[in-house]
Chains A and B, each alone.
Chain A
């Protein structure tokens, strides 16, 4: 049976579905007998989700949007004058 270290090394490929059937099966056998690794798998997956959901909330603040807009307008005007 594979050990926890191997199991965690394989997590990435396991989640992405990149493991061959045999390796995938031995990983699942490990999970069946190792609750800490299941907890690890679940929290590993959760980490990605919650970080993504949090960092994706970033919007351009209105004042930044306005600054960018006038900056671009100025730049275009200069360009057109040339």
Chain B
């Protein structure tokens, strides 16, 4: 999206929010149209459950309806929507049974005493194309993302999946820019390692046949 386009979208959005705050319900419908997919996708990616994501989407859309007068425009409207979505998803997650935590540090790269890589690194980046849209690959990727610790997962989803800027993520999550970067980097390292196992195995099988 170009900068001018982004600016135009933001202006349209601001106008919709103002109209809705003034009591125009058609403006609300348009806001729903603009946001419901993003709200649903983010909560689905956090919880991996259709019913839960539906509940969250309902709750968020209702909150937007009821609380729009409390939105003061100090941050972007989208940041406000993302924050409500995250809060609502976390409430839902907390009410569920917790899965055992996995430590991200164990999956970060390891180095020898002189700072050189200890493990053998295979380059599977060229061979993902044919695998990308198979159900198995999707399953592996979903599972890997599901294993990310909450703190890293949310940064990864907002920045790399939703495509928000680093600055925007820091606004939504109320984190410093270096904290956003460091969590994102750790998330990517973790996922790279998780996916490596899968793609390397696929490559070596292909080599044998």
Q: Which residues of A contact B (CB under 8 A)?
A: 3-6, 8, 11-13, 36-40, 42-48, 50-61, 64-65, 67-68, 71-72, 75-76, 79-80
Residues of chain B within 8 A of A47, CB atoms compared: 188, 191-192, 195
Do the beta carbons of B120 and A36 come within 8 Å of each other?
yes
Which 5 pairs, one residue from A and one from B, show the smallest C-beta to C-beta distance? A3-B115, A39-B123, A42-B125, A46-B125, A36-B121
Q: Smallest distance from the beta carbon of A48 to chain B beta carbons, Å? A: 5
Residues of chain A within 8 A of B62, CB atoms compared: 71, 75
Do the beta carbons of A51 and B123 come within 8 Å of each other?
no
Do the beta carbons of A51 and B40 come within 8 Å of each other?
no
Do the beta carbons of B115 and A6 come within 8 Å of each other?
yes
User: Would you give 20 A-B contacts (Cβ < 8 Å), ordered by A?
Assistant: A4-B111, A4-B117, A5-B111, A12-B184, A37-B117, A42-B125, A43-B125, A44-B192, A45-B125, A50-B141, A57-B138, A58-B40, A58-B45, A60-B41, A64-B50, A64-B57, A68-B54, A68-B61, A72-B61, A75-B65
Tell me if B161 is interfacial: C-beta within 8 Å of chain A: yes
The verdict on A11 contacting B141 (CB below 8 Å), with A47-B195, A64-B57 known, is: no
Q: Smallest distance from the beta carbon of B132 to chain A beta carbons, Å? A: 6
Residues of chain A within 8 A of B54, CB atoms compared: 64, 67-68
What separation, in Å, do the CA atoms of A8 and B192 have in the docked complex?
Answer: 12
Q: Smallest distance from the beta carbon of B38 to chain A beta carbons, Å? A: 10
Do the beta carbons of B115 and A44 come within 8 Å of each other?
no
Excluding A44-B192, A50-B128, A76-B28, 6 further A-B contacts by CB distance (< 8 Å) are A36-B117, A42-B126, A47-B191, A48-B160, A60-B40, A75-B62
What separation, in Å, do the CA atoms of A55 and B53 have in the docked complex?
Answer: 14
Residues of chain A within 8 A of B61, CB atoms compared: 68, 71-72
Do the beta carbons of A54 and B40 come within 8 Å of each other?
no
Q: Smallest distance from the beta carbon of B146 to chain A beta carbons, Å? A: 11
Residues of chain B within 8 A of A8, CB atoms compared: 109, 117, 189
Tell me if B36 is interfacial: C-beta within 8 Å of chain A: yes
What separation, in Å, do the CA atoms of A44 and B111 have in the docked complex?
Answer: 17
The verdict on A54 contacting B132 (CB below 8 Å), with A43-B192, A64-B57 known, is: yes
